[in-house]
Every structure is written in C-alpha cells, then in structure tokens.
Amino acid sequence: MLDSSLAVTAHPDRLFIGGRWQTVAGTSRLRPVNPATEAPLQDIVAAGPVEVEAAVAAARKAFDDGPWPRLPASARAEAMRKLSAALVRRGTALDSCWLSQVGVPAWMATGASAGAAGLLDYYAAMAESYPFEDVRPAQGMVCKTAVVVNEPVGVVAAIAPWNGPLASLLVKLAPALAAGCTVILKPSPETPLEAFLLAEAAEEADLPPGVVNLLPADREVSDLLVRHPGVDKVAFTGSSSVGMHIAQICASRMARYTMELGGKSAAIVLDDYDPAGLGPALAPLVTLLCGQACINFSRILVPRSRHDDYVESLAAAMAATRVGDPLAADTQMGPLAMERHHAKVMDYVARGRAEGARIVTGGERPGGLDRGYFIQPTVFDRVDNAMTIAQEEIFGPVTAVIPYDTEEEAIAIANASDFGLSGGVYTHDTDRAYAIARRIRTGTFTQNGREYDLTNPFGGFKKSGVGREGAREGLEAFTEVKTVFLPHVPSALAQ
C-alpha cells in the first residue's frame, strides 16, 4: 500500500558523492510538498557550489582514473543488474515518492519504479551485445584496417524534471553506465526523493566510488553544474526555454548535450473514425499525469463537417474523468504538481477565454476539493491555431479542438508549431495513417493512440529537443566515435 510516510530517505542531511554520504557545507533545504493535501514532505539538504565541485571532481576521478570506463561491458552489465535489483527492493518507497510529490493516482504509481528499473536491465543486455569496436576496411596508403570505436563520452550531468523523476533519471543513467560514463544525478528541486533512494541503491550495489553522484540543487546551483568544464555532457529533460539556455552554455564550451523538451502534440482525427469512440480514446491521453506529460495531446484536429459530434464525445469523456485523492481506487486524475504551476495553468485557461475560445467543459477547480492543486479536465473549441492555447505548452489537462476542411490543411495545422515531439492520427486506414505520419514533423507518431516505448528512439524535432533517448540511439548518445587506423586487425579483435 502506497503511503506518503514511505516517501523518505535515510540520508536527508547528506549527499552521496564519491561513493559515500557526505555532509554539506551550506544550510539550504529543498522542501517538497504533497500537491493533493498541501502538506510538507521530508525536508532534503540542497547542494551548493562546494558540492558541485566535489561531485564533478569525484565523477572526473572515477572516469579518468577509476575502473568503470575500462571494465569489460559484461562487468558493467553485471553491476547494472545489481543496481536494478536494489531499486526493485525499494519499489514501494519509490512508488510512494511519485504519488506523494507529484500526485499521480495510486494505480499509476504502483509498480512504476520496477518498470523504470527495467531500463537498467535493458541497457545491461545491450552493453553485452553492442559492437563498441567495429573493424572495417580502410583505404589508406599504409593502413588497411580501421577500428571504429564507440568510447564513453565522459562525465555526464543527468538533469531530470519533476513530472517523472525516477524514469527521467534512469533513461539517462542506464545508457550512460552501459557506455562507461560516470554520472552526476541532478533531480528537480520539487521532486528530490527518488534520486536519494537511487543513490542508496547505488551504494548497496557497490558501484565504484564516483560512478554515481547525487546533487540535488536549486536552479542557480544547477547552472554551475552545466557550466563546469569538468562535465563532458549534459542530458536534460525539461522545458524548452531552460533547454535552450543549457544548450547555449554547452555550445559555448563545446560540451555534448541531449535535450528532451516540450511538446504541443496534435491528434489528427480523420473522417472515418467513429465520434462515439473518440472521447474515450483521447481523454486519457490528455489527462495522463494531470496533463503534465510532454507527449499528451493538447491539440485535437477534427473535420469541420463532423466537428460538433467529435467535440461532444471528447467533452463527455473529459467531464466523466474522476478527479480526486490519488490514494482513492477510483481516481483517474490527481492534482497538478505544485501551487505555482496550478496558477500558471489557470492563467492559460483565462487567456484562452480572453482570446475568444469557448470552454466546452472544465476550466475550474472541481467541487469539493478545496485543498490541493486540482483542476477540472478542460476542453476548448472555437480555437484558431494561432491562439496562445494552441501554440504554447500549457502542461495541464487542457486541450484545444481545432477544425479543418481538408487533409492538407490538417497536416499544415499540425506542423504549424514550434514543437515537434509527438503526434497521432485517428483512422482505421493504416496506409492513410502512415502517409500522414511521414509528413508530420515530430519525433514519434502513433495511429489510434500514443505510444511511449523506450525500446525505440524517443525525442523531438524543433524546440522539442536534440538527440534521442531509448533504444540503441540512447546508448550511442553517451559515446564518442574514434577511428583507429592500423596496418592489421589487432589480435584481440581478430575473428
């Protein structure tokens, strides 16, 4: 049974740096809050400039002088599986952290940490089979052999958002470890608890000192980490505005980076899709995580000829979504994650009204929920794609229905966005769906749903990011490519 009392760490006053729990020089604290009750959770120590230096130095030493990058891939894989098992043993506590800090329903949080830990097992298996050394022919005057080597990129700053704290860290940590990198975990200041439990698991798994380091910090201190010359790569998930700021810093010193950023994903509904089925199919993909998922459908494009039928179906399904206590068995959507974000989403609702869009359902605090950062699932129609609510990422359970007259117009509307993370089409004609998918500028696209599968590449076009997480591409993102020319194949690589 999940419980906020389980969302605690044994080391709230120390940070895991260089393989041990160390005291902190400053007095700053991070104070996460339960968004459903507004009650404070466990206070956590925050890192300062001293700890940034210590974490980078520990990770640097572990990479430059330690065994981890030089271990056989099979040995790294064995250590990663131990880390995965240590996380699974903390499953109830980790699931409770997600529920208590973010307000996700218990049915969604239960078992989620085991799935996230599975990323370690997935990349452990990949490390054992990946061709880190690839022998190729060369056309040189002397050397007729080239060995193309994927070497670890170095020290990685893994910066996670607050909506999916554990999974967002592990989708960076797992491939980075598989590649041979050392890692500094930087959780969001709003959701630090999972990262502490992850560090506890790293200690239990007996990873070499400095391979995994913990650095919870506010945004100013995080900036020091991104700017640090000892960090070779930044792997970031978060807002597009912060991502572009980080990218500028990295570019100024030629540091590597991958960015998984925001979205304004459009679902294109074709005229062969039954209106009665649309609402039940789409509502969960708008309200997932109270809309705080970058891949959620925040624009719904419908044929003008059937506009009213589609709007009616969607509005009914959204209005029927059960909002409430995340611990209640029948809750389908919990609260927004924090007070300031609740205010931001409500401001977008007000802007939608002011710009002439019509609220079909929602837009208010649900009745009977006077505490917590709750909002009703919200549907706008009479929306023009140029409106603020159709262009900016709201990051809440708010979607805009936009009519179109032709398929060409629908494609143009879907692409008329600064973002390009996800998208979908609702039709029973797979050939038609694939033809549309090839014309939409997004990193992922799904027929009749929205898939999120990290055994395949995930990432975005345009302001939705740079690079890909998941799959083989996610591992390669933590490597540098070196070409070694030799007269002959080295004996270790000879068949």
For 97-117, the pLDDT digits (tens) are 999 999 999 999 999 999 999
- Mean pLDDT of the region 447-471: 97
- Identify the pLDDT of residue 215: 97
Residues 6+ apart with CB under 8 A from 200: 9, 10, 11, 16, 86, 90
Sheet holding 479-486, edge to edge: 133-137, 145-152, 479-486
- Of 343, 338, 348, the residue nearest 372 (C-alpha): 338
Measured over all CA atoms, what is the biggest interatomic distance in the chain, rounded to whole angstroms?
A: 80
203 catalytic residue (yes or no):
no
pLDDT tens, 218-266?
988 999 999 999 999 999 999 999 999 999 999 999 999 999 999 999 9
Per-residue pLDDT, 145? 96
What pLDDT is stored for residue 127 in this prediction? 98
Candidates 166, 215, 294, 287; CA nearest to 30 is: 215
**With 90 as the cut, is the pLDDT of residue 494 above it?**
no
Confidence of residue 3 (pLDDT cuts 50, 70, 90): confident
Beta-carbon contacts of residue 53 (< 8 Å; ≥ 6 apart) = none
Arithmetic mean of pLDDT over the chain: 97
Residue in the block written with tokens 């002011």: 354
The stretch 55-80 carries a mean pLDDT of: 98
pLDDT attached to residue 240: 96
Give me the mean pLDDT over the 182-201 stretch: 98
- Region 58-67: what's the mean pLDDT? 98
The model's confidence at residue 1, banded by pLDDT at 50, 70 and 90, is confident
pLDDT, residue 165, reads 97
**pLDDT at residue 333, rounded to an integer:** 98
Q: Note the pLDDT tens digit of each residue in 259-289.
A: 999 999 999 999 999 999 999 999 999 999 9
Looking only at the bridges linking them, the beta strands covering 378-381 and 358-361 are antiparallel
DSSP assignments along 79-105, one per residue: HHHHHHHHHHTTHHHHHHHHHHHH---
Catalytic-labelled residue, pool 260, 312, 392, 469: 260
CA distance 253 to 247: 10
Structure tokens at 216: 């919870």
Residue 240: alpha-carbon gap to chain centroid: 12
The one-letter code for the residue type at 199 is A
Whether residue 151 is predicted with pLDDT greater than 80 in this model: the reply is: yes
> pLDDT at residue 141 above 90?
no
User: Which DSSP category does 493 fall into?
Assistant: G
Residues 6+ apart with CB under 8 A from 166: 94, 97, 98, 112, 113, 116, 194, 198
Q: What is the pLDDT of residues 76-94, one digit of tens each?
A: 999 999 999 999 999 999 9
Q: What is the pLDDT of residues 329-369, one digit of tens each?
A: 999 999 999 999 999 999 999 999 999 999 999 999 999 99
Q: What is the mean pLDDT of residues 459-469?
A: 97
Proportion of the chain above pLDDT 70, given as a percent: 100
Write the DSSP symbol of residue 458.
B
Domain 4-261+464-484, CATH: 3.40.605.10
What integer is the mean pLDDT of 33-60?
A: 97
**Token reading at 462:** 């345009």
467-479 mean pLDDT = 98
Report, at the CATH architecture level, how domain 265-447 is classified. Answer: 3-Layer(aba) Sandwich (3.40)
Question: For the chain, what are the domain ranges?
Answer: 4-261+464-484, 265-447
Q: What is residue 207's predicted lDDT score, i.e. its pLDDT?
A: 98
Residue 140 has pLDDT above 90, yes or no: no
Residue 284 dihedral angles phi and psi, to the nearest 5°: -65, -25
- Residue 319 amino acid letter: A
Q: Which of 490, 477, 489 is nearest to 237 (CA)?
A: 477
The CA dihedral of 384, 389, 392, 394, to the nearest 10 degrees, is: -150
pLDDT at 404 over 80: yes
d(CA 242, CA 239): 5
User: Is 495 a residue whose pLDDT tops 80?
Assistant: no
> What are the tokens at 430?
């797979």
255 vs 253: CA distance, rounded Å? 6
Confidence of residue 40 (pLDDT cuts 50, 70, 90): very high
Whether 4-261+464-484 and 265-447 share one fold: the answer is: no
